[in-house]
Structure 1
Amino acid sequence: MTEQSSGAAPRIRRTHLALFVKDPFASAPWYEDVLGMKVTARGKRWVFLTFGQKHHDIALIGVDDPETATRGAVNMQHYGLEIEGDMNELRRLYRMLLDKKVPVVKTTDHKVGLGLYFEDPDGHRFEFFLETVHDDEEGQRVLGGYNAPSDPFDLQPL
């Protein structure tokens, strides 16, 4: 047994997310329109979408009984999407969400970055995240020093 296979933690290259939704075919256009994703594959009960680098980043999977499907109290809190750009880009995205009537949940100062939280048609929460502390060691120090804050801040849409 090698040292690598004897309990060493995995080295994750990237992630993808699979979400249960009431109707993946009705939800997919929202992901294309709001998040700029592209559909890469469809099945009987699922749709795969990409941000453009890999075959899929998010999978939407239809629940067995859409009529009775509800989101439980224990569920995914949010899925963060780090954005390219600066504060004006975050403000522009805020305006885009408002214009598309996307439910905006909150804006948050995490001391290492700023977050803009919103919901998809099934109530899944997403975050556009603008990183403001770019050094990882400094980011860990800041998060620890502030106890991983989630303070509201005033973000004005462009």
Structure 2
Amino acid sequence: MVDSSHGFVRDRRGCRHWGPYGAAGLLVRRGQRLLLQRRSWRVHHGRTWSVPGGALRAGESPWDGACREFAEEVGEVPPLRHLHTLVDDHGGWAYHTVVADLAGPEGGPDRAEPPRRRRGDGEGSAYRWCTVAEVGALRLHPGFAASWPALVAVLEGTE
């Protein structure tokens, strides 16, 4: 079976993007911390921080695509509670950042265990739980950096 998520497309401004059906990533929150991924040096905008994510398949929802990409890059997807999906529309192509709380045992998400890590697909080289303030000090993927102010507003509105 051919993977329908492969291939480049151009948005209405002429910018080139990977994934003919758009892309999605999963921003997991545990209490006041966010799980970020440092991108491998081998991928586009390598050695920057972002969320696990990638191209959507034909007919795949942003939630399903973000969870699939998380599983491919990090490992088992933990129980989550969807909070918001931020859409960065480029005109004919969009990136969906799915924001979700890590659903923890009694006592709330601060006591939940982080996702079980496994050897991923090589797109991520490191993973880190960060506060909002710490994220601002990291070298971010340009697309994630452009969405970051809107994501902070979403996070502040869901506390």
TM-score by length of 2: 0.23
TM-score by length of 1: 0.23
Structure with greater contact order relative to length (CA < 8 Å, sep ≥ 6): 2
Determine which structure has more spread, i.e. the larger CA radius of gyration: 1
